Structure 1
């Protein structure tokens, strides 16, 4: 806050001499937030507006488990919108603890009669503590509010569907392992990062961050990692080649870089890279759309149905990156790097990866 005040002083604003400390400003913000909550709760209660509760577990920097509570409702006769309501520190992580904390949170602003009439839906992730059939939070809430509609977060369901594809489609495991090796190589070694940056500077490219793919993060994170390898393909090849020929490294280290370069420059890997880039671009866009606050179930259903049609069409009509790969395979060169065959790699088949799961079991994500 003092920094903001200094900026305002430079802009010529008279901010006075008191109430400038971080503690005081924090108390002012808390008071404003409390009054706004009271005003919003009063509007919702007096107008008997329907209420949807969205929750998600999280962990603070200090390691404490908290419950993020958001509400979705119409305010002042406007369209329904989703807004943050409260951050609850949990005494435990069982379904009973979460249910008790949530009901206490809602009870501070809404009476039980109102909740019985207007608490219409509850949304959460797919953790067993939330959606367990016998003692889950959703089950306990439904016992209190029989008309409650429970919804498993569409974005979490999308991630589960992607996770199932990883298990079922041959070749994805090898692709994921290679990216894990790249992540470990550059994430834990400033020396490798520096050498890679020098290679990028030599060819005039901007270095992108390489992360893990198809892990616990949202699918958009996987798309960024694949895009980083696609854009910095030549940089990675130069770095691996230099490291493999660096006599200051031991033989095991040089062999590791030689193996990584053999995978990187194989026609099969480039084919898999283009295929995954197209698929993850579509899934990343869908994931971001589903995360929007104004998203509704009918709109989400249309987006999911459209995405299935897109994947089905991409089986016979390659995406833009796969089209580039076909040209590269015909020329046996990708981004100026010669391609070669590597019989140890497994190729991902478009029909299996894009259509089998998405079209065969759409109920998993819709």
Structure 2
């Protein structure tokens, strides 16, 4: 085949034609119709499909909070099950981290595009990672443009050089400026929400005060669910039985959570008594009042089971477990303790429902006072004395609650 000739000596078209004849020949070939172009398009499509599968796999790991080292194993599994060849390039934990980084950047950019379109609220709280490094979790709340409804979105977790008001305020500013690419965010922010800690909501030196110094129109709004928890603690601070009840639920949780032997024994006791055992619940958690309610319900459901198992442990174990079991028994068999537990089931149920409303992202501002008035009415209008009498008449038979003989508190005895 010779250059400059439209047809080679072998009679086949010459694809290396130059000059005017080359231009004429090239004009007869439509874009995307040559074999080279078709091959490149097919190659790009295959590579794009492969990268798409890699991105989806990396996203699955991140969403399930799994280590990036599992990325290669997931790719091998897909290769075996679906006969897709993903093991040639980009198959390492470092590449998985890179994929997740780009996914996060894309999600953040989408969120910030909506945020920049109107006003927004900053929500943040402190956190500590596995390396005991102080960090700040930052969220933004804004009106979603398509459905025109308020949404709350996670923005980032930002490491703090110092966990004081100045350090947190600097972290918020850098997060919105650098990650959110929103240098003029102070012109659009309308409120700031966090817990009631002085470092966050302090009137003089808190983060809210520093933000108001720069943006006078910002409205600081303390977390209403956190305020409810503080109100509950303040209302019960003079009730010694309430602190004793919290201590009992905490002791029961630790007794079975940190000892597989005790938990297995509780399950075996439940099977012998034909009782479906509910795992004891930690009273401390993100749902505050909800955790206390669940812990109380679990303690009441497992009452006879826990009492029977602790009795067995106290008789057969003279060590630390036996001492803990005896301490739990001393409180479970007190009449006033059981009666108080029943009363708190009612009150914590009302508070937990209110707390859930406060923490629901779909709750509207007009719904909050309605639920608050309903919860307050339910608690104030209930005849507590009648509730106590009904419990003693219906649940306590011959001084026994669920076959457990109850005792009255002895003088000088502290729960």
TM-score between the two structures when normalised by the length of structure 1: 0.81
Closer/same/farther in 2, CA of residues 260 and 136 from structure 1, 3 Å limit:
closer
Tell me which residue corresponds to 2:212: 142
The answer to whether the 8 A contact 2:249-2:299 is kept is no
Aligned pairs for 1:184-333 within 5 A: 184-211=254-281, 213=283, 218-246=288-316, 249=318, 257-258=325-326, 260-316=328-384, 326-333=393-400
Task: Show CA shifts across 1:61-108 (max 9, x none).
Answer: 111111111001123332120000111011111111111111121223
Tell me which of 329, 335, 338 is aligned to 2:405. 338
The answer to whether the 8 A contact 2:164-2:199 is kept is yes
1:14 Cα deviation from its structure 2 partner: 3.1
1:139 Cα deviation from its structure 2 partner: 0.2
Question: Are 1:55 and 2:135 an aligned pair?
Answer: no
Tell me which residue corresponds to 2:133: 64
Q: Which has the larger Rg?
A: 2
Quote the Cα distance in structure 2 between the aligned partners of 1:345 and 1:208.
34
State the Cα RMSD in Å: 3.2
Quote the Cα distance in structure 2 between the aligned partners of 1:6 and 1:287.
46
Quote the Cα distance in structure 1 between the aligned partners of 2:390 and 2:175.
53
Closer/same/farther in 2, CA of residues 259 and 51 from structure 1, 3 Å limit:
closer
Tell me which residue corresponds to 2:142: 73
Q: Which consecutive unaligned segments of at least 5 residues does structure 2 have?
A: 1-70
The answer to whether the 8 A contact 2:287-2:356 is kept is no
Deviates more, 1:334-343 or 1:142-151: 334-343
SS at match of 1:76: coil
Quote the Cα distance in structure 1 between the aligned partners of 2:166 and 2:315.
60
Task: Show CA shifts across 1:141-186 (max 9, x none).
Answer: 0011111011000111011112112312342133233334434543
Q: Which consecutive unaligned segments of at least 5 residues does structure 1 have?
A: 347-366
Task: Show CA shifts across 1:221-249 (max 9, x none).
Answer: 22222112111111112123323443x63
Closer/same/farther in 2, CA of residues 318 and 310 from structure 1, 3 Å limit:
farther
Quote the Cα distance in structure 1 between the aligned partners of 2:77 and 2:236.
50
SS at match of 2:146: coil
Closer/same/farther in 2, CA of residues 70 and 259 from structure 1, 3 Å limit:
closer
The answer to whether the 8 A contact 1:269-1:345 is kept is no
Tell me which residue corresponds to 1:361: none
SS at match of 2:155: strand
TM-score between the two structures when normalised by the length of structure 2: 0.72
Quote the Cα distance in structure 2 between the aligned partners of 1:215 and 1:51.
28
1:187 Cα deviation from its structure 2 partner: 4.3
Quote the Cα distance in structure 2 between the aligned partners of 1:306 and 1:131.
29
The answer to whether the 8 A contact 2:273-2:305 is kept is yes
Closer/same/farther in 2, CA of residues 254 and 92 from structure 1, 3 Å limit:
closer
1:113 Cα deviation from its structure 2 partner: 4.4
1:305 Cα deviation from its structure 2 partner: 2.2
The answer to whether the 8 A contact 2:177-2:183 is kept is yes
Closer/same/farther in 2, CA of residues 177 and 29 from structure 1, 3 Å limit:
closer
Tell me which of 177, 184, 189 is aligned to 2:247. 177
Tell me which residue corresponds to 1:23: 94
Corresponding residue pairs, total: 341
Quote the Cα distance in structure 2 between the aligned partners of 1:38 and 1:243.
58
Question: Are 1:32 and 2:103 an aligned pair?
Answer: yes
Tell me which residue corresponds to 1:42: 113
User: Which 4+ stretches in 1 moved above 6 angstroms?
Assistant: 214-217, 252-256
SS at match of 1:309: helix
Closer/same/farther in 2, CA of residues 345 and 290 from structure 1, 3 Å limit:
farther
